Structure 1
Amino acid sequence: MMKIEADRAKCDGLGMCEAMAPDFFEVGDDGTVVVLDERPGEEHRQDLAAAVDACPVLALKLRD
């Protein structure tokens, strides 16, 4: 099962992930990413991979 991992220490809160996959990411009040669903269904893989790849500080990963 796929899992989203976020390194909040690396996150700059730029919001690229939230813009691309708002059902799974948001920038919290502290200015860093919050993963809304760590274990998304496989049907979301393509959209999530694009959001992860869009992170300019490489704070996000998809794991199997």
Structure 2
Amino acid sequence: MKYLLAALLVLPLTACELLPVQLASLGGKDVVCHKGKKTMELPRDAIGAHLDHGDHRGACR
């Protein structure tokens, strides 16, 4: 019974951590750092144009 309760408490925490990544990949979107200042989630067909003018994949730091 303790293991079941522990699993029920841990499962929602791990799902919250994985869900945004799964939704982004299912929606055909990717994250780009725009002009080194703003993190944007864009459709995959728009990524090439942003990379061509100096943006980079991933969140801004």
TM-score exceeds 0.5:
no
- The structure, 1 or 2, with the larger RCO (C-alpha pairs under 8 Å, 6+ apart) is 1
TM-score, length basis structure 1: 0.29
TM-score, length basis structure 2: 0.30
Larger Rg: 2
Say which structure is richer in helix: 2
